[in-house]
Structures are given as C-alpha cells and as structure tokens.
Amino acid sequence: MRPVIPVPPTRHLLRAKDLVDARYHEPLDVSALARAAHLSPAHFSREFRRAFGETPHQYLLTRRLERAAFLLRNTDRSVAEICARVGLSSVGSFTTSFGRAFGLSPTRYRAAYPPASSRVRVPTCVVQAYARPHSAVFEKTAAHAAASVLGSP
Amino acid sequence: MLKQLTYVQVWVNDQDEALAFYTEKLGMELREDVTVPEMGNFRWLSVGLPGQDVAIALLAVPGPPVFDDETRDAIRSLLAKGASGGLFFATDNAQKSYEELKSRGVEFTQEPTEQPYGIDAGFRDPSGNHFRLAQQNA
C-alpha cells in the first residue's frame, strides 16, 4: 500500500483564486469563492489572506480594475459598459476605486494612452476593402473640382 | 559546449496522480519510472510528448535528508499556491485542444484568448503547476 499524500489545503485556495481570474466578469462574491475552496466564508477569507497576502475581496476587485484598465486602453467601449463588463454594478464606486488604484479617473487614464483605434491590427485586405474612396463620391468630387478649376457654373 | 535540453523538472504533490494526469489527460507517454531502494525509495519518473525528445521529470518533494521538513513543506505550499513556475506548450488549434482537454477534466485557468502572437489558454496540473498552450500566428 502506498502512503496517502494529502492535498495541501492551499491548493483549494488556489482554485478560488483561479476562479477570480477566469470569471471576474460574472457576479462572483466571496461566498461563491468560499464554496470553490470548500470552506466557510469567514474561514475562507482568513485562509486566503494568509496564503496570498490579501483578502479575496481585494483580489477580486483589483483583478476587475486591472481588466477594466486593459479595456480602457484597448477598446473604445464606454466607461459604463466597461464597468459592467468586468462584473461591477455601480459606475460611481467603480470610478472611485479605479482612481484609488491608478491615480486617474477612467476617462483620464484612457486619454493618457494612444487611442485604441490607432493601434488596432487591421489586415491589409480589410484596409484595401474599406479605405478605398467610394467611386460615386469620387466622381462627384472630381466634377466639382474640375468645375471650380475651369471657372464655369 | 552544452548541446541539448533533455529534461525539465516539475515538482508534484503525488507522483501517481501526476503520472495519470500527464499520460491520460495530457496525452504524454511514460518515459521512465524507476524506484531506487538504496536512495530512500527515490522515484525517477519522467514523461514526454510523443515525437519530442525533451522529457518532463515529475519529482516528489523530498524530505530529510534532502530537505528538512520546513523546506519540504514550504515547497509543497508554494506548489499548491501556484507559485512554482510553469511550462509552455504549442498546439496547432488552441480551441480544439482546449475543448478536448476540458472534456477530459483538465482544470483551465483561462479559456482560449486572442493575443498579438496567437491564441493561448492556461491550465493547471493537480499539484497547481501552471501551463499554457498557444497556437502561434503563422
């Protein structure tokens, strides 16, 4: 008979932490995380903090803020939509915690980076298809330009 | 000079559990499994991807005389906390690999996600080691 090797209790806490990283956009709360770790909420919060140095609530909030910052830099979605997309329900408290974490409001944070549209990776075939001037407009503009050059009515 | 990387070593909590996971779930092949009684039953266990020489040595965290109890417990705790490093795998189709591994019960930390370099996903072994699979852009 081989000896039974116990699973270290922190492995269950890691599972709860992974759940935050994967499902931060869902209405997760500490009791759902405690269930993933098979612990009571109060015991879970204490043990999580002992293992990872912060409470599960702080970990969840900072993960959501990190994802929100990412979306502010890389999308043109509104602040309200980004707030909802990272699993937060109140735009007011989102703005407050974001400011505390990053030292800037979400809008100013976004303005500090080049706009997402300038960095989007558009394949050449898409540029060629969408950026070509519409021929009807082109003809009208050309006719107008020709008319002004010739000075005729 | 150095010629080739032949093994990477991964600490595991339970070698039998790890062997089942790496072979049955991740589709690796058993390369070596030897227990040495005169070395305190040290078990050299390795697996690898079929068709690739480099092997993964799945080693149990030893106690005395190699590590004192405190050190062993610290390593096992870091492992369980997911703080022990990881391995990076390539795949031709990240979505397909994800679905297949998921259906076998592999614990994913991240679903396939588009990145500037391709599509990648994250998962763990039973011990808490972190792995990524990536489909690189052509």
Is A9's pLDDT higher than 50? yes
Measured between beta carbons, the chain B residues lying within 8 angstroms of A5 are 13-14, 17
Task: Say which residue, A119 or A38, is predicted with more confidence.
Answer: A38
Number of H helices, E strands in chain A: 10, 0
**Closest Cα in chain B, distance from residue A151 (Å):** 53
Q: Is B82 part of the contact surface with chain A (CB cutoff 8 Å)?
A: yes
What is the average pLDDT across A82-107?
96
Pairwise CA distance, residues A12 & B17, whole Å: 16
Is A152's pLDDT higher than 50? no
What dihedral angle (degrees, nearest 10) is formed by the CA atoms of B64, B70, B72, B77?
Answer: 170
For residue A141, which phi and psi values (nearest 5 degrees)? -65, -40
Spell out the residues 6+ positions from residue B87 whose beta carbon is closer than 8 angstroms to its own.
B8, B10, B56, B129, B131, B132
CB distance A9–B80 less than 8 Å?
yes
Of B80, B107, B116, the CB nearest to A8: B80
CB B91 within 8 A of CB B41: no
Is A151's pLDDT higher than 60? no
**Closest Cα in chain B, distance from residue A153 (Å):** 54
**Closest Cα in chain A, distance from residue B81 (Å):** 5
For residue B122, which phi and psi values (nearest 5 degrees)? -125, 145
Give the pLDDT confidence of A29-69 residue by residue, as tens digits.
899 999 999 999 999 999 999 999 999 999 999 999 999 99
**For residue A119, what are its two tokens?**
């960095």
Q: Is B33 part of the contact surface with chain A (CB cutoff 8 Å)?
A: no
Which regions of chain B are under pLDDT 50? none
Measured between beta carbons, the chain B residues lying within 8 angstroms of A2 are 16
A87-90 own/partner pairs: CB under 8 Å, 24+ apart: A87/A24, A87/A25, A87/A26, A87/A27, A87/A28, A88/A64, A89/A27
Pairwise CA distance, residues A71 & A68, whole Å: 5
ipTM above 0.85, yes or no: no
Residue A103 corresponds to which amino acid?
G
Residue A129's pLDDT band, with cuts at 50, 70 and 90, is: confident
Q: DSSP class of residue B67?
A: S
